[in-house]
């Protein structure tokens, strides 16, 4: 029975993932031409790659992240790639004034907004939980509360344009593995808030889509640095991941899973045999390399 589960369930999950997520769904890059887009966490990793894809699609871009020097370089590259326009505002996402500053810039520069891509994350380790409640509170402020604040500030303009909110989350927001307790908590919170908000928008017949992106292990510099010595898996490419996120937002999909087969297989196993999945996850780590408090 154990062997059957190990072989059959991943195959079934892969087949379902292929069926639901491999279709092009008539995506055309011209769907983003001239669209007004805010991307957070845009100075590196997936956010940087999304900015480049959107630039090639001739979108208007407003980028934000903590590091101004990196943002300047990303904006310059976006303009070289063909962005209709590209600007940036640097700042920390735990700032209570940054959401209004970003939306005021979008209003003054473009007169509105078509897509809000929430992608930023705070700094956290891959380690046993140390009992540092202050860190949990700080991470929740950046990874969750600031997402809510930005989406709330953007909703009036998105309602007017019948636009989209794209929330970059993680498999850690669906399945709580070890060594990610604070991070996982913030991602579960995103799932709960934005899934509930989507229901309210539908009830009120508000045509603003919400796309939740459930990501696995991606080869961003920060992710590889944090977990490559612990996780045995090979990370998926950030460039392709970024494009899948943009495609999902443009098509107003409810959910994006990337890499699709791996994430869908894991979620299917979780539904059918959660304890079995937990044991697989625990055995897949180099636990001896995990930092203890």
CB atoms inside a 10 Å sphere around CB 236: 19
Tell me how far apart the alpha carbons of residues 107 and 109 are, in angstroms, rounded to a whole number: 6
Q: Name the CATH topology of 29-289.
A: Rossmann fold (3.40.50)
How confident is the model over 108-159, as pLDDT tens digits?
999 999 999 999 999 888 899 999 999 999 999 999 999 999 999 999 999 9
Indicate which residue of 183, 217, 258, 285 is catalytic.
183
Cβ neighbours, 10 Å, residue 246: 27
pLDDT tens sequence across 4-42: 444 455 555 555 555 445 444 688 889 999 999 999 999
Q: Is the pTM of this model over 0.85?
A: yes
Catalytic residue at 147?
A: no
Q: Residues with Cβ < 8 Å from 247, sequence gap 6 or more?
A: 25, 27, 256
């Amino acid at each position: 029975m154990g062997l059957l589960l190990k072989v059959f369930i991943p195959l079934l999950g892969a087949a379902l993932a292929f069926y639901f997520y491999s279709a092009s769904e008539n995506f055309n890059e011209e769907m983003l031409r001239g669209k007004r887009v805010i991307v957070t966490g845009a100075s590196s990793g997936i956010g940087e790659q999304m900015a480049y894809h959107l630039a090639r699609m001739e979108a208007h871009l407003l980028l934000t992240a903590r590091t101004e020097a990196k943002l300047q370089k990303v904006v310059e590259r976006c303009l070289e790639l063909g962005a209709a326009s590209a600007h940036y505002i640097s700042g920390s996402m735990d700032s209570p004034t940054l959401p209004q500053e970003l939306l005021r810039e979008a209003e003054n520069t473009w007169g509105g907004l078509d897509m809000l891509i929430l992608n930023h994350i705070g700094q956290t380790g891959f380690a046993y939980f140390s009992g540092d409640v202050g860190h949990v509170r700080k991470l929740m402020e950046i990874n969750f509360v600031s997402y809510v604040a930005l989406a709330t500030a953007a909703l009036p303009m998105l309602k007017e344009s019948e636009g989209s909110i794209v929330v970059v989350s993680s498999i850690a927001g669906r399945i709580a593995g070890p060594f990610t307790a604070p991070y996982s908590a913030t991602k579960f919170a995103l799932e709960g808030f934005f899934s509930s908000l989507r229901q309210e928008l539908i009830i009120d017949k508000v045509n603003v889509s919400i796309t939740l992106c459930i990501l696995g292990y991606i080869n961003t510099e920060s992710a590889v640095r944090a977990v490559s010595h612990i996780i045995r898996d090979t990370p998926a490419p950030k460039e392709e991941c970024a494009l899948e996120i943009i495609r999902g937002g443009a098509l107003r999909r409810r959910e994006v899973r990337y890499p699709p087969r791996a994430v869908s297989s894991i979620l299917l196993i979780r539904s059918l045999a959660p304890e079995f999945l937990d044991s697989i996850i625990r055995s897949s780590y180099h636990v001896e390399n995990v930092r203890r408090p």
